[in-house]
Amino acid sequence: MEIIGYARVSTREQNLDLQLDALKEAGCKLIFEEKVSGVKDRPELDKALSYLREGDTFVIWKLDRLGRSLKDLVYIVDCLQKRKIAFKSIVDGIDTNSALGRCQFGIFASLAEYEREIIVERTRAGLQAAKERGKLTGRPIGLSEDAKRKAIAAKRLYENRDYSIDEICRILHIGSKATLYRYLRYEKVRLMNRRNK
């Protein structure tokens, strides 16, 4: 049963010393240090989570060092609990080894779910209000003027049969075969079963 720490700073100017001192004082023998992590890249956190075993305790200095959102934080701690790994946040006074710590985290989980439901409700209300005002939501129907020109040219090249699907895409600067086929359907071209030739 090990006590493992995780420290993170999000800018180059910040220093890990305060976190490292607190983690060492909390008994951490091994500390994973994340310096200037991106929005999704947290390789040291991934290493720490992989290193942890049943019965270990995962310690952080403060909750905002672990998760970028309440939802993210709850997900990580929930995964730890399922693996029977205790979680401790020094500054926030949370320790899932205690009944109070587990209760605190249950409240966080409820808040994360509430936050998610509020976002869903607001989105639905916004879409409904837009619909009532006659505003269309979603992708526009049909093609832009530029796409219509490409669709006409694609129809000519396709029906000519001198060019492969890939060649037509390249000639007309169409990004994908799926887009080319959408253009052809728009022009009501009868698609033939031909092997990219």
| pLDDT tens, position by position, 9-25 | 877 657 889 999 999 99
Residues 37 and 92 in one domain: yes
Q: Is the pTM of this model over 0.85?
A: no
The neighbour count for residue 39, using CB atoms within 10 Å, is 6
d(CA 28, CA 36): 22
Residues that are catalytic: 10
pLDDT at position 127 is 84
- The model's pLDDT over 91-106, given as tens digits with 9 standing for 90+, comes to 988 899 888 888 887 8
Residue 197 in domain? no
Residue 191 in domain? no
Residues 99 and 155 in one domain: no
- The model's pLDDT over 51-72, given as tens digits with 9 standing for 90+, comes to 999 999 999 998 888 877 788 8
pLDDT greater than 70 at residue 40 = no
pLDDT at position 118 is 87
Q: Which domain holds residue 35?
A: 3-111
44: which residues sit within 8 A by CB, 6+ positions away? 6, 8, 32, 33, 34, 37
How many domains does one find in the chain?
A: 2
Angle at 180 between CA 178 and CA 181, to 5 degrees: 65
